[in-house]
Structure 1
């Protein structure tokens, strides 16, 4: 095995995947949301860096080729499980998350079955857009969780009339509720929209891979 810098970054990304969930075991919210967001964004950045360095330094290896998709899928699947959990199994989150996880398992199974011919299922440009949409959606939804819990903490003891007065500008906003509610709205609706885009792209790319694999699934081969 070749243990160079690109591979070390890939291994760190793989180790970071379960840590996204662990953040919610050892830290209270909203700090767990922020730590998970930082960890996830950091891992997503290394996904670009390790691939770029491997190509630029001509350090592409079998170890890296094996670990890279595992790290990517682990990060996405674990993050989606966490987000689905703290969103209360909201169907707007659950449905696209289910489509994404199903596709990842399905395509991984196809690649495993095809063995040496799995190279025919090359990553397409649309699949790269799917991955980008997934990563951004997950990061934005982690930010939504952080905004939500800051709002909950800072409105303890406030009645609905007081909150409405602050948001309407009739009462001085001394704790910044206005921008926190705005951030929550942007993160929630933007995150859901991006997750649905990723879900649709996931199904399209999954179907594309299945079509490419069909000639290798015939009984007469």
Structure 2
């Protein structure tokens, strides 16, 4: 009976066949790695909030590590998806959504705990709302969205400044200077984005594609 069971098992007939099987298994696994990183970002958000609130007025190193990890995986998951050619419909929606939810959550939590001013909070939230509404309005009209260099720079400066605000005690001045610098970059980029969109979608140029940003 045991011999018959072993005979029914399909064993690799060569090292080449075994390598091929391993390669197929890895190809299957890596299809899911970028999306798994995105899901981890969503899962980290409530943990980040708890750690930030628990820190009180002091340096919230635990929350800072979670926030920095979210910023890192935001770059890694997209890079892996493009490099491995495993971009998915889920990833195209969930990746930027996770980025926006993390930023909005961090900004609101930092304002609620007295670490950043209300004006900075409103500007960042208003910019994100403008981008979301612009995306919904312009994409159906043939406007192509791509990340600009200034948009990337603004996002990274905002991430870095918020991370520094998190890991320093409440009332520390220089992280707020860095935060306002990031806000200025974001505002300039947003203005450029609106100017390009208005020019490219002006009457007489319907459906013309150009490049703007979604960061």
TM-score of the two chains, using structure 2 as the length reference: 0.71
Give the one of 121, 144, 148 matched to 1:97.
121
Secondary structure in 2 matching 1:120: coil
* Correspondence for 1:201 among 185, 192, 208: 185
Q: 2:162 is matched with which residue: 128, 138, 155?
A: 138
Q: Find the counterpart in structure 2 of residue 67 from structure 1.
A: 94
1:81-114 deviation digits (Å, cap 9, x = unpaired): 11112126x6xx3222321111110111010112
Q: Is the 8 A contact 2:52 2:166 kept in 1?
A: no
CA gap of 1:118–1:110, structure 2 versus 1, over 3 A, is farther
Per the alignment, residue 7 of structure 1 pairs with 35
Counterpart in the other structure of 1:167? none
What are the within-5 Å matches in structure 2 for residues 88-127 of structure 1? 93-117=117-141, 120-127=144-151
Q: CA deviation at 1:9?
A: 0.4
Contact map agreement 2:58 2:168 (CA 8 A) in 1:
no
The aligned counterpart of 1:213 is 197
Alignment partner for residue 75 of structure 2, among 25, 30, 48?
48
How many residues are paired up?
176
Indicate the SS of the match to 2:173: helix
SS in structure 2 opposite 1:60?
A: coil
Shift of 1:190: 2.6
- Residue 19 (str. 1) matches residue 47 (str. 2): yes
Q: Which has the higher helix share?
A: 1
SS at 2:146's partner residue? coil
Contact 1:13 1:43 in 2 (8 A): yes
Root mean square deviation of aligned Cα: 2.8
In structure 1, list runs of 5 or more residues that go unmatched: 149-183
Q: Distance in 2 between matches of 1:15 and 1:119?
A: 33
Q: How far apart are residue 201 of structure 1 and its match?
A: 1.1
Retained in 2: the 8 A contact 1:80–1:97?
yes
Matched, 1:81 2:108: yes
Contact 1:110–1:213 (Cα < 8 Å) also in 2: no
1:125-149 CA-to-partner distances (Å, cap 9, x unmatched) read 000000100110011001113xx5x
